[in-house]
Amino acid sequence: MAKSQEHLIGLLLGAEGDWPRAFETLAQRMGVVTGPDGTQHHVSTERVTIEPFNLRDKPRHDLVIDRLAHWYYHPREWLKKVALMDDVYLLNSPFTFQSMEKHSAYCALLRLGMNVPETVLVPYKNPIDNVRWAYTSEKYNKSFDLDRIADELGYPMFMKPFDGGAWRGVSMIKDRAALHEAYDDSGEMLMHLQKAVDGFEVFARALTIGPESMVMKFRPDEPMHNRYAVEHGFLSDAVGTEAVTIAQTVNAFFRWEFNSCEMLVKDGVVYPIDYANACPDVAVTSLHYYFPWAMKALLKWSVFCVATGRKARTQVDTDPWFAVADDPALDYQAKLAAYQGLADDHFETERYREFVETALPHLDEMVLEWVDSDDFRSLLTDTIRATYPEREWDTFEGHFGGLTRLWVADETSRLSPGRSAADETVVGGPAPALAD
């Protein structure tokens, strides 16, 4: 008789309703998963509640997908407890997201040789809430010339918080007047000044879940429903591969497993500008066409982790990465190749691919069937009505419904026998439908 194991995946949520409902539905539809050794894995989900906990309590969860603890500290401390004491697998690690914010990410990628734009950290504009601040500031804070720093960086530039989050406090600075206005408004936020990549050709955002990455063309000036452009092959093969490697390097280095990375491309050079997102956007009303891919990747990686007993590594180990970074015999391309190898080792990419192929061979077809069903259309309608005013419901039904139907057509073509063996995550987006 085959062995059987039960696995409970916890969802720690904020205000989201669409993707948790999708994830729960797909996990239920997935059915029993038979691992490579013949063990049958029964996976269920549960939305985690917030309540007092004894540090000796034993959790029921094997894995928790966290979308809340980056700002809600009580569940963050619960996650730390269950990781340290009970080996619960976390997406993401609160240890590194708490200590390795955007500033640390800039520093690490600079050490790794990435093309991070010139960046300066400036002191607080206003006193922080600490009784010692006045004394320390008067005795040790060195006066500085903000205009000189900006002139050395060169306009235009961006001012943005060192820890970031949801575009909070981000300003584009085009002249001295805008510089001082933004700095005065920064208050108690600690700010970076970062030189803009003026005249960039492409803004790319890579969503990475485990070893899976989707690089999407991003238009930050558009409203949220229109920011992700459905455009295939918008990057060259070389630039697209570099974008994937940078995104996966960030995640493997910092032990993040559910994160987005933003990059600008100009003249064939990839400039990473933002890559520490504890709660990356996965809403159906923003990802639309790419939403099914995100749900599949999240489900595959979660199931792989619990079914194989993957052990979480929550702490950063810089040594192997910096050994590559500091090797004078390696040029940039050689370092990228080495970083991709380290990322693949961290995420057990080969083992993961084999697991998905043998244990989840039906997943693509199952997700396609669901997205093409009344059940998905009901989810989409409910999300639209919870997000937009009634006068816009019909408009967004048409907008998102059309993008969904486009994905269904492309995915049907991709999965058709003899049509296309292209991987769904080819550089620059999913493989387009093939013509007869």
Which pLDDT belongs to residue 419?
55
CA–CA gap between residue 331 and residue 198 (Å, rounded)? 26
Residue 433: the pLDDT is 37
pLDDT in tens, 167-203: 676 889 999 999 999 999 887 888 899 999 999 999 9
Condensed to tens digits (0 to 9), the pLDDT of residues 279-316 reads: 899 999 999 999 999 999 999 999 999 999 999 888 89
The burial of 147, by beta-carbon neighbours within 10 Å (0-12 exposed, 13-18 middle, 19 or more buried), is given as: exposed
pLDDT score of 431 = 40
What Å distances lie between residue 232 and 54, 93, 284, 298, 403, CA to CA?
50, 32, 19, 22, 14
What's the CA gap between 220 and 254, in Å, rounded? 25
Structure confidence at residue 133 (pLDDT): 77
The SS3 assignment for 225 reads helix
What is the pLDDT at residue 166? 58
Q: CB 41: neighbour CB atoms within 10 A?
A: 19
Q: 39 and 6 in contact (C-beta within 8 Å)?
A: no
- Determine the average pLDDT of the residues in 377-381: 98
pLDDT band at 118 (very low <50, low <70, confident <90, very high): very high
Gap between the Cα atoms of 312 and 63, Å rounded:
10
DSSP track, 264-331: EEETTEEEEEE---SS----HHHHGGGHHHHHHHHHHHHHHHHHHTPPP--S---HHHHHHHT-TT--
Alpha carbon distances (Å) from 136 to 60, 105, 130, 131, 143: 47, 28, 10, 10, 13
Per-residue pLDDT, 434: 35
The pLDDT tens digits for 15-59 are 999 999 999 999 999 999 999 899 999 999 999 999 999 999 999
Position 422 scores a pLDDT of: 53
Find the range with the poorest average confidence among 93-97, 298-302, 346-350. 93-97
Residues 6+ apart with CB under 8 A from 81: 53, 55
Q: What is the CA radius of gyration of the chain?
A: 23
Q: What pLDDT does 424 receive?
A: 67
Please tell me the predicted confidence (pLDDT) of residue 96: 82
Average per-residue pLDDT for the chain: 91
Report whether pLDDT(164) > 80. Answer: no
- What is the token pair recorded at 240? 């697209």
Q: Which residues on neighbouring strands pair with residue 191, listed in sequence order?
A: 122, 161
Residue 49 to residue 427: CA distance in whole angstroms: 39
CA proximity to 426, closest of 210, 229, 215 = 215
- Environment class of residue 239 by beta-carbon count within 10 Å: exposed (0-12), middle (13-18) or buried (19+)? buried
The whole-angstrom separation of Cα 23 and Cα 10 is: 11
Give the mean pLDDT of 369-397: 97
Apex 205 CA angle, 199 and 208, nearest 5 = 155
Stronger pLDDT, 77 or 423, i.e. the higher one: 77
- Name 7's bridge partners: 43
Is residue 40 a contact partner of residue 31, using CB atoms and an 8 Å limit?
no
Angle at 401 between CA 397 and CA 403, to 5 degrees: 130
**Higher per-residue pLDDT: 81 or 70:** 81
**How far is Cα 339 from Cα 331, in angstroms, rounded to an integer?**
12
